[in-house]
């Protein structure tokens, strides 16, 4: 995770950002700290990267890399405002001895668009990451990749419309995907939890699960009830200020290991 020391909205690179509605720095820090402490209280180890001046979106650590089986493929950001983050995260991994470490050649926005589900990766494209990024991820990690396309600009990264709950179960909002992708998701995940548009707009799908606890936006009350009924333990976290930058719980969290460990 990366503390939002420099988080601000002075440009708009997704539909959630409005330069006339800037975040309150203290409130944003408090939201992030609460999320950090939730993970710690659940028994997870949280590593921190030092925020760098001028990198306003560095708090959204999920976009920094794809990490799987001890290997790291650092992001290659589409938008210029975020490209310098790649070097910061590459340096962080290198300094900690991660040896299989490279930067993506294709446009690839990390775990924002590439999410591990058991032995495979679901790869999203349409607004940020390139479709060819899925092939690069498959080659680099030696795993099967399921490619899907996003069609609603509000859900510009896969992790705003699709969440991994455990090694076999996911939840997603069908309206964020093309018809072909919806059919593919139905085939791949027949037991998925299907979210509504309000669930997605409330950033309920921008969630982190350890297979039992699901940490998600406090706004997504209906989805929390559905998760509870399905046997999970949902934990709501306020992300009001962070959402002004287009990010929530999952956006702030780069998973360094097994996506359902814990």
- CATH number, domain containing residue 31: 3.75.10.10
Strand, coil or helix: 215: strand
Residue 148 has pLDDT above 70, yes or no: yes
pLDDT number for residue 262 = 29
Residue 235 has pLDDT above 90, yes or no: yes
In a domain, 135, yes or no: yes
In a domain, 254, yes or no: no
In a domain, 160, yes or no: yes
The confidence band for 112, taking pLDDT boundaries of 50, 70 and 90, is very high
- pTM of the entire predicted model: 0.96
In a domain, 80, yes or no: yes
Average pLDDT in the chain: 97
256-261 average pLDDT score: 56
Residues labelled as active-site residues? 157, 251
pLDDT number for residue 257 = 86
pLDDT number for residue 261 = 33
Contact in structure between 71 and 141 (CB atoms under 8 Å):
yes
Per-residue model confidence as pLDDT tens digits over 43-84 = 999 999 999 999 999 999 999 999 999 999 999 999 999 999
Residue 259 has pLDDT above 70, yes or no: no
171-187 average pLDDT score: 98
Segments forming the whole domain that contains residue 189: 25-245
Please state, in angstroms and rounded to a whole number, the distance separating the CA atoms of residues 250 and 248.
Answer: 6
260 backbone dihedrals φ, ψ, rounded to 5°: -125, 25
Q: How many independent structural domains does the chain possess?
A: 1
Please state, in angstroms and rounded to a whole number, the distance separating the CA atoms of residues 261 and 211.
Answer: 7
109-122 average pLDDT score: 97
In a domain, 9, yes or no: no
């Amino acid at each position: 995770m990366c503390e939002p020391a420099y988080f601000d909205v002075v440009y708009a690179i997704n539909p959630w950002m409005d330069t006339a509605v800037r975040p309150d720095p203290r409130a944003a820090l408090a939201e992030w700290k609460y999320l950090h402490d939730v993970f710690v209280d659940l028994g997870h180890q949280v590593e921190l990267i030092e925020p760098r001046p001028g990198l306003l979106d560095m708090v959204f650590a999920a976009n920094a890399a794809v990490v799987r089986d001890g290997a790291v493929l650092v992001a290659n950001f589409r938008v210029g405002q975020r490209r310098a983050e790649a070097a910061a995260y590459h340096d962080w991994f290198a300094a900690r001895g991660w040896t299989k470490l490279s930067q993506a050649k294709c446009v690839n926005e990390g775990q924002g668009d590439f999410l591990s589900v058991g032995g495979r990766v679901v790869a999203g494209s349409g607004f940020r990451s390139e479709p060819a990024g899925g092939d690069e991820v498959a080659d680099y990690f030696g795993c099967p990749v399921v490619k899907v396309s996003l069609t609603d600009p509000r859900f510009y990264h896969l992790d705003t419309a699709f969440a991994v709950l455990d090694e076999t179960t996911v939840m997603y909002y069908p309206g964020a995907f093309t018809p072909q992708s919806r059919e593919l998701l139905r085939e791949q995940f027949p037991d998925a939890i299907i979210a509504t548009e309000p669930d997605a707009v409330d950033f309920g799908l921008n969630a982190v699960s350890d297979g039992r606890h699901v940490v998600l936006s406090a706004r997504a009350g209906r989805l929390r009830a559905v998760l509870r009924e399905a046997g999970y333990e949902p934990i709501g976290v306020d992300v009001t200020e962070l959402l002004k930058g287009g990010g929530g719980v999952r956006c702030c969290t780069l998973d360094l290991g097994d996506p359902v460990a814990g």
